[in-house]
């Protein structure tokens, strides 16, 4: 598929959209709608992933990664949101971002309902319930992003800085706040539109090295967002000092996980250690130690994958002075020692 063909497909109703358009039309007449619902083939609806609020068996309890990913190693799907689909409250196990390429859509999260227009880009983290409604032939592009691709990108030193986008992603890998989202307003930015189309083409065509190119476009897109549109950000935590402080503290712990201490955090934010410990637990649902260990284990896995460093050196680099403590914590987390984990990884590569 080329760009012209892609644009044509974005402006042409697919089979699912035609079904939803008929659903919306028949809903205007109660008698016709009841007949329509009664004659639905539920097996076909389930097979085609039609979501019909009047048929509870078609309503997924959550939208899971495996519904979408044909290649779990890529961890990213980019597709058009179906026009005319009935809005329904749902949450997902991945990050969902949607970009209004053309037209409008309605987004509802918690008690807040917003009308999004061209160029608006909204990110909703895992576990947060929301509704999206596209009730005409507006073009809305959805990005389905696994936590792994977020981790891989925003752990990169290029991105792991004190900016709202990195903090939002990294905080929500660990936990999701109530009614959380991040929104940018980019207007009719032709460069961003072009990047979105190129990402879609890579995702659709899957030519050689498409995963690397898709990842590069992904980084470019989010880099441009921060460079040019950081000032447009809407985020509910910006009006909530406690949530904003939780963001900042969590990001600081993750960035300094090799040396950070509870005492250091308390002094930095002018709290007592006791209050700091309680605040972190209440804000994130996790203890200070849990956050530190999680960051250290992620770092250790990265080093085991990408280097041939001995386990003792990896232990030191991720923040453990005693390698026995590191090995014990790693085994508790992954069910095997770092050495065994690395050997199993190498076996997979040889298969």
On whether residue 43 sits in a domain, the answer given is no
Are 87 and 203 in the same domain?
Answer: yes
On whether residue 343 sits in a domain, the answer given is yes
Say if residue 155's pLDDT is above 70: no
On whether residue 137 sits in a domain, the answer given is yes
Are 296 and 313 in the same domain?
Answer: yes
Which of 187, 205, 237 marks a domain boundary?
237
Are 277 and 172 in the same domain?
Answer: no
Confidence bin at 148 (pLDDT 50/70/90)? confident
Are 340 and 271 in the same domain?
Answer: yes
Are 158 and 246 in the same domain?
Answer: no
Which of 185, 208, 237 marks a domain boundary?
237
On whether residue 277 sits in a domain, the answer given is yes
Show the domain range for 76. 59-237
Task: Please give the structure tokens belonging to residue 126.
Answer: 């895992």
Say if residue 160's pLDDT is above 80: no
Q: What CA–CA distance (Å, rounded) separates 161 from 169?
A: 12
Q: What strands, in cross-sheet order, belong to the sheet with 120-124?
A: 76-80, 139-145, 95-102, 120-124, 182-185
Are 166 and 211 in the same domain?
Answer: yes
In terms of pLDDT, which residue wins out, 111 or 265?
265
In terms of pLDDT, which residue wins out, 15 or 344?
15
On whether residue 121 sits in a domain, the answer given is yes
Residue 112: the pLDDT is 83
Are 149 and 267 in the same domain?
Answer: no
Lowest-confidence region among 150-159, 207-216, 243-252? 150-159
Q: What CA–CA distance (Å, rounded) separates 18 from 10?
A: 13
Which of 222, 237, 252 marks a domain boundary?
237
Range ranked top by mean pLDDT from 100-104, 158-162, 173-177: 100-104
Does the pTM of the predicted model rise above 0.85? no
Residue 69: the pLDDT is 45
User: Tens digits of per-residue pLDDT, 214-227?
Assistant: 888 988 998 899 89
DSSP 123-134: EE-TT--EEEE-
Question: Can you point out the beta strands (E) in 8-89?
Answer: 76-80
Lowest-confidence region among 20-24, 65-69, 289-293? 65-69
Say if residue 163's pLDDT is above 80: no
Say if residue 191's pLDDT is above 80: yes
Q: What CA–CA distance (Å, rounded) separates 322 from 33?
A: 68
Residue 156: the pLDDT is 61
Counted domains in the chain: 2
User: Tens digits of per-residue pLDDT, 292-348?
Assistant: 998 899 899 889 988 999 999 999 999 999 999 999 999 998 899 999 999 887 665
CATH number at residue 65: 2.60.120.280
Residue 239: the pLDDT is 52
Confidence bin at 99 (pLDDT 50/70/90)? very high
On whether residue 46 sits in a domain, the answer given is no
Are 206 and 65 in the same domain?
Answer: yes
Cross-strand pairs, 100: 140
**Phi/psi of residue 189, each to 5°?**
-80, 105
On whether residue 28 sits in a domain, the answer given is no
Are 207 and 320 in the same domain?
Answer: no
Residue 289: the pLDDT is 92
CATH number at residue 256: 1.10.10.60
Residue 66: the pLDDT is 47
Are 303 and 203 in the same domain?
Answer: no
Residue 34: the pLDDT is 92
Are 183 and 298 in the same domain?
Answer: no
- Would you say 91 and 127 are in contact if contact means Cβ atoms under 8 Å apart? yes
| Nearest residue to 121 via CA among 143, 137, 93 | 143
pLDDT, mean of residues 40-67 = 78
- Would you say 98 and 52 are in contact if contact means Cβ atoms under 8 Å apart? no
Lowest-confidence region among 93-107, 233-247, 309-323? 233-247
Say if residue 74's pLDDT is above 80: no
In terms of pLDDT, which residue wins out, 66 or 135?
135
Are 289 and 175 in the same domain?
Answer: no
Task: Please give the structure tokens belonging to residue 71.
Answer: 């290649």
Q: What is the DSSP code (8-state) at residue 103?
A: S
User: Tens digits of per-residue pLDDT, 105-139?
Assistant: 999 987 788 999 999 999 998 878 888 999 999 99
pLDDT, mean of residues 86-97 = 84
Residue 64: the pLDDT is 52
On whether residue 232 sits in a domain, the answer given is yes
Q: What is the mean pLDDT of the chain?
A: 85
pLDDT, mean of residues 278-286 = 80
């Amino acid at each position: 598929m080329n760009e012209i063909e892609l644009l044509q497909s974005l402006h042409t109703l697919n089979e699912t959209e035609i079904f939803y358009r008929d659903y919306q039309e028949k809903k205007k007449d109660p008698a016709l709608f009841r007949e329509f619902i009664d004659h639905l083939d539920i097996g076909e609806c389930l097979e085609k992933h039609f979501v019909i609020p009047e048929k509870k068996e078609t309503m997924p309890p959550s939208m899971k990664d495996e519904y979408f990913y044909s290649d779990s190693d890529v961890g990213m799907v980019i597709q058009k949101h179906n026009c005319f689909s009935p809005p329904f409250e749902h949450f997902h196990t991945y990050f969902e971002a949607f970009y209004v390429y053309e037209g409008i859509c309605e987004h509802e999260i918690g008690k807040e309902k917003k009308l999004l227009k061209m160029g608006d880009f909204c990110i909703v983290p895992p576990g947060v319930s929301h509704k999206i409604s596209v009730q005409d032939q507006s073009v809305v592009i959805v990005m389905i992003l696994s936590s792994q691709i977020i981790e891989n990108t925003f752990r990169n030193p290029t991105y792991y800085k004190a900016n709202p986008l990195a903090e939002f992603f990294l905080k929500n890998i660990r936990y999701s706040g109530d009614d959380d989202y991040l929104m940018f307003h980019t207007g009719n930015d032709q460069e961003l539109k072009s990047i979105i189309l190129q990402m879609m083409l890579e995702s659709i065509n899957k030519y050689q090295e498409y995963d690397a190119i898709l990842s590069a476009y992904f980084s470019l897109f989010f880099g441009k967002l921060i460079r040019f549109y950081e000032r447009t950000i809407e985020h509910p935590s910006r009006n909530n000092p406690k949530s904003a402080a939780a963001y900042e503290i969590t990001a600081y712990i993750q960035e300094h996980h090799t040396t950070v201490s509870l005492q250091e955090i308390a002094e930095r934010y002018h709290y007592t250690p006791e209050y700091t410990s309680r605040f972190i637990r209440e804000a994130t649902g996790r203890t200070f130690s849990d956050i530190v260990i999680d960051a250290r284990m992620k770092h250790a896995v990265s080093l085991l994958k990408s280097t041939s460093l001995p386990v003792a050196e990896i232990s030191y680099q991720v923040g453990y002075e005693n390698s026995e403590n590191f090995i014990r914590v790693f085994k508790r987390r992954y069910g095997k020692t770092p050495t065994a984990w690395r050997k199993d990884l190498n076996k997979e590569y040889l298969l």
